Structure 1
């Protein structure tokens, strides 16, 4: 009985967590500020084109229409853009998620001559602006005959310095005793990586996967430089030329029609990323925390 009373008194004396109203209000304002443009674009894509210009901030459910989406599908090759982006995303993302952890494993768990110099050189590439590398890479693609090919869209930058650095930080936190135990059991070096390292670093790998998908999906500068053919254009390149395509396919297309179809195309392109982030939000946050471990 005395024990119960002691526990009750201790619980009663324990300070209750304070509800920080100011912080919640501030976060709510930030959330509205970030989501308002997205919500406006999606809602406006279902409005008649004339209403988008006449009443940009209003929305009448009775005027709900799919005309903007029908017109966009007729005037814009968004299907081929999605296909090209999907191919690049699967192949390039697979290369990144396989090769970057392997390189990071070597930097984190092996000692070899010149390790610090090589890793420093890898990190040094992070300081180079992308625009500096475009001309040399384009000349290289031209010499290889890869302009307007999937090879040019996929291979350059498939294993970047950030991915290696990210995974190196994650793998460095794995205890060396686990690797030694696997070696004693007769496991090879690649077997240690695949059977010991990969299951442990899944949160960090998931975080890298989300970032990789977002970077490849949103990449515009390199695809627009290396692919000047509409058949090889990725989704972002297609979106950048929407106004020209709509105006060229529709004689006398007014500003309202172009705006409506632009919003429809942008909404369609936005949906995959929203679904990805909602589904993998937990893994992304865990991956961010895993990547912040100091090795």
Structure 2
């Protein structure tokens, strides 16, 4: 086979791969684009002409009605509080535990780390009843403590950061010890700057997981006062119908799409701002220890 034939074959393979990725991207993005554009359409047009888009008819009617009928701002506030506190706990504690597993030898280390990995195999639904009973005994039902503390130190976060920290050279830590650096100083001054890409990737995943969490908040925070954004979104149809007498299906659908669009914006902003760090973090997390 000549060089020109090989080059042509490679180009065809690349073209086929790119075409497949474009089709895949369109399949994933089409429903999202449709939902966002439809949120700006008049409510009746969403039902009568779902696939037609006339920019001259676009407006903010659905958004205005949604903010009047739905306590979405309160849901954002609760989610922001949980995200800030729970995310901080995860990003501080999980790498510390991972550092111990990666760089220290102690009795029962393998057993303890194996136990952490086993918890990854447990379905969330299995843990809900025991956790709910525990929250009830502590008097934490419908409180921020119940939303924040369970799962704050995530097993996956420990596993991932352990893989990242394992790649840090032991010689670098030994040299710092010789210079008189303490054990926490080793972690904070030597390890943390090296593992920043992995921490950034973990931060993005943690934000997405907490922001999208629904099952646990809907179980432990059933009151409207403590409802997070995802819980508010799940009850939108009944809330809109209850607050707006005679609300028809078109009105409910338009305000649902408007609320979903508003909820989508923070995640898109975070991902686009941190996508470089996220990709670097994924690659850092793939390093074998």
Rg comparison, structure with higher value:
1
Equivalent residue, structure 2, for 1:18: 11
User: Could you tell me which of 37, 40, 48 is aligned with 1:54?
Assistant: 48
Mapped partners of 2:41, 2:11: distance in 1: 44
| C-alpha deviation, 1:65, in angstroms | 1.0
1:202 aligns with 2:171: no
User: Secondary structure in 1 aligned to 2:11?
Assistant: coil
1:279 aligns with 2:273: yes
User: Could you tell me which of 105, 118, 124 is aligned with 1:124?
Assistant: 118
| C-alpha deviation, 1:21, in angstroms | 1.1
Structure 2, unmatched stretches of 5+, are: 1-6
1:236 aligns with 2:227: no
1:290 aligns with 2:284: yes
Structure 1, unmatched stretches of 5+, are: 1-14
1:69 aligns with 2:83: no
| C-alpha deviation, 1:160, in angstroms | 1.1
1:96 aligns with 2:90: yes
Mapped partners of 1:31, 1:130: distance in 2: 30
Listed one character per residue, the Cα deviations across residues 208-234 of structure 1 (whole Å, up to 9, x for unaligned) are: 111000000000000000011101000
Mapped partners of 2:170, 2:213: distance in 1: 38
Listed one character per residue, the Cα deviations across residues 47-76 of structure 1 (whole Å, up to 9, x for unaligned) are: 000000000011101101100000000000
User: Secondary structure in 1 aligned to 2:120?
Assistant: helix
Mapped partners of 1:231, 1:290: distance in 2: 40
User: Secondary structure in 2 aligned to 1:214?
Assistant: helix
Runs of 4+ more than 6 Å apart: none
Mapped partners of 1:288, 1:96: distance in 2: 17
Equivalenced residue count is 283
Listed one character per residue, the Cα deviations across residues 11-66 of structure 1 (whole Å, up to 9, x for unaligned) are: xxxx7973611111111111111111111000000000000000001110110110
1:135 aligns with 2:93: no
Equivalent residue, structure 1, for 2:3: none
